[in-house]
Amino acid sequence: MTTAQHAVDYDERVISAAREVFAQQGFAAPVSEIAELAGVGVASIYRRYPNKRRLAERVRIAAMSRVIAEAESAGEVEPDPWAAFVRFVRGCLRAHTGIGVVLPPYEESEDVSEELTRLRQRMIEHIEELVVTAQRAGQLRGDLRSADVFLLFKHLNPPLATEEDRRAELRQRYLELLLPGLRERADRLPGEAPDWDELFQMCVPGGQ
């Protein structure tokens, strides 16, 4: 069964590379890049998946499962609702979760598989629960909706935003979430300060 084992490894490397590439660059990323990251030839990818779209679907299903797992474990590990919520958000943003792959539609006319639809529903329900629980405890601002969580994820995964995100209304909403967090407050945690020079260089065009 050496051969079969080998095939499994191959699969795993490909899926993992696809998650990373798709999450960072969106589904428009070239297959060749996935192949390179996985250290295989493109043909090996096409030998296992009929086309790019199917590969993407597999990756999405895997990523959604991870998000669900993240939500479940967050609720179990952290008794405090706010802590659970924060743990979930942070967990989803860890690279290996691949939230960036969960968010964007592959294409306008994607015929969504049944499995994907079911997972999506479960995922939403889990997030809903985390939000509502934290709100009932008076720890999460009451006007937050689970849709906001997706919005937040989307903005934290810049390259994945689609046409609609640009709508002024959504930007407005996002800003409303952000600004209150910027005001000085006694209970703010110190937190680690990033390297300011580096941050500047990365954020400002034509950086010195």
Kindly state whether residue 89 participates in binding its own copies, applying the rule CB under 8 A: yes
- Applying CB under 7 A, the residues found at the interface with DNA are 2-3, 6-7, 10, 28-32, 39-44, 46-47, 51-53
C-beta of 14 vs 102, nearer to DNA: 14
C-beta of 48 vs 173, nearer to DNA: 48
Report the nearest approach of its own copies to the CB of residue 34 (Å). Answer: 16
Under 8 Å CB-to-CB from 71, ≥6 apart: which residues? 88, 123, 126, 127, 129, 130
CA–CA separation, 127 and 89 (whole Å)? 10
CA–CA separation, 48 and 44 (whole Å)? 7
Report the nearest approach of its own copies to the CB of residue 8 (Å). Answer: 28
C-beta of 1 vs 168, nearer to its own copies: 168
Residue type at 102 in one-letter notation: V
Judged by beta carbon distances under 5 to 8 A according to partner kind, the member of its own copies, DNA, none in contact with residue 3 is DNA
Q: Which of 97, 103, 126, 130 binds its own copies (CB under 8 A)?
A: 103
Report the nearest approach of DNA to the CB of residue 72 (Å). Answer: 34
Judged by beta carbon distances under 5 to 8 A according to partner kind, the member of its own copies, DNA, none in contact with residue 8 is none
Calculate the alpha carbon distances from 5 to 1, 12, 187 in Å: 6, 11, 53
Decide if 27 contacts 104 (C-beta within 8 A): yes
Kindly state whether residue 194 participates in binding its own copies, applying the rule CB under 8 A: yes
Decide if 85 contacts 149 (C-beta within 8 A): no
